[in-house]
Amino acid sequence: MTDDLTDDRTARTLRTIAPYLADWASFQAAYHGMPGLQLAVGRRGEVFVDLAWGKADLETGEDLTSDHLFRVASHSKTFTGVMVMQLVERGELRLDDAVGTLVPELDGTRAADVTVRELLGHQGGIVRDSSDGDFWQHHKPFLDREQVLDVVRAEGVVFEPNEHFKYTNIGYSLLGIIIERVTGKTYDEVARAAVVAPLGLTRTGSELDPARAAEYAAGHTGRITHGDVRQVVPHVDTRAMAAATGWYSTAREMVRYGSAHVLGDTTLISDASKRIMQREESRVTVRGKELGRYGVGIEVGKVGDRGLVGHSGGYPGHITRTWIDPVDGLVVSALTNAVDGIAGQIANGVIQLIDLALAAADEVAASAAPGKGADGDRVAPVPADAPVGRFANLWGVADVVDLGGILHAINPRSPQPAEVAQRLVVSGGSLLHEPVAGFGTVGEAVQVERDADGAIVSVRIGAMTAWPVEVYRSRTGR
């Protein structure tokens, strides 16, 4: 019963904070000068946020929608991992099968003894993109099948297997070739049958579809300096590298796909296969600094205390990130259409906000439990006239928002909302900055000025007056 109650509380909390999640993410995208952003947040079959903000194409001025297609790039590796695990489950392939056996053209090369598992986990020592990876900036086409094999033959192995984690798009291109060899079908045919059809996806595929050209969000260049004008980057076919970087999707469909990686959902692969994929295979550390963690075909990570799996993606003009909590079921996918996109920053920040709200909701529920009768044990409810909104002054911007039944003041410019959030609590009938140790105005009152109709004229958060953003703009001419 407790688990059911907690699950219901989680869903209610997500529904309540969904508008703020979209608002915070939109602010971040605008503040950092992104052309456009798709954001989707879902959990256990319910989608709470399906945001499209900004422009699909800065040159034409086309507005971005939730239906625009994004190239999700290295998310493709997770799709390829799923396709390999399906073959393993059917007994058509083994994780310890060697490349030389599966791809006879590579028999006798240094790559011949590298296993499927080592390719999936980037432990095969295979060259990342070849010594000429200028296809990433459209100076040449992406590699075809024979070119991939030529690269592996000529310069394929940089490290011995399992000597170092070495991220490799060529290695995943080999996995695409292996899938085709084992099944006797094209990579795209297998992808449609293995992933797209079972999930009922209509806006997801393994490679650029020219027939849908008008549906793709344009890619855009990054900025060297703040005032640079962005240019459109065209979409191209990734050819034999589709298994590493070719897929396209939308944020909403990435949430549906991500949900298939949650334990208990066996639409695509068994939980046993998920545990293989999601178990930490590599912890990537250089000179004492951890750079990331990887499983078998999927990234492994954490935001705060929440364990996650998923992937990022970097395609010429699109930067993307999806995180999945395989136990709780939360999925967050952020897609941006610029080379310097902040998809990872937005996805991480959204998860931080969610966890702030869930922690508050748990605290409020615990304080209301039987036996918590004394006023000092109860969390005071958020006042009906609480100064909720976005306020600005010379020093910046502050959001006052109800997260999980407790007011929080958050600087929406910060990419780390969990680190800057301050609680505002009711004590003795007054709204105060939470009375805890700190460098700011902890324990001091929040002052609110209202007009005759009760609308907020200004607030003092941190002892300085701040105004609703549009009022501040009119006062300052900004």
Which residues have C-beta within 8 Å of that of residue 158, sequence separation ≥ 6?
Answer: 125, 126, 127, 166
Please tell me the predicted confidence (pLDDT) of residue 431: 93
Residues 125-138: tens digit of each pLDDT = 999 999 999 999 99
Alpha carbon distance 271, 254 (integer Å): 19
Q: Which two tokens stand for residue 286?
A: 């250089």
- The yes-or-no verdict on residue 50 having pLDDT over 70 is yes
Alpha carbon distance 235, 69 (integer Å): 11
Tell me the pTM: 0.96
- The yes-or-no verdict on residue 372 having pLDDT over 90 is no
- The yes-or-no verdict on residue 419 having pLDDT over 70 is yes
Q: Which residues pair with 452 in a beta bridge?
A: none
Of 279, 250, 84, 291, nearest in space to 172 by CA:
84
- pLDDT tier at 6, thresholds 50, 70, 90: confident
Alpha carbon distance 465, 467 (integer Å): 7
Alpha carbon distance 410, 227 (integer Å): 28
Q: Cα Rg for the chain, rounded, in angstroms?
A: 25
Alpha carbon distance 369, 341 (integer Å): 44
Residues 117-128: tens digit of each pLDDT = 999 999 999 999
- pLDDT tier at 3, thresholds 50, 70, 90: confident
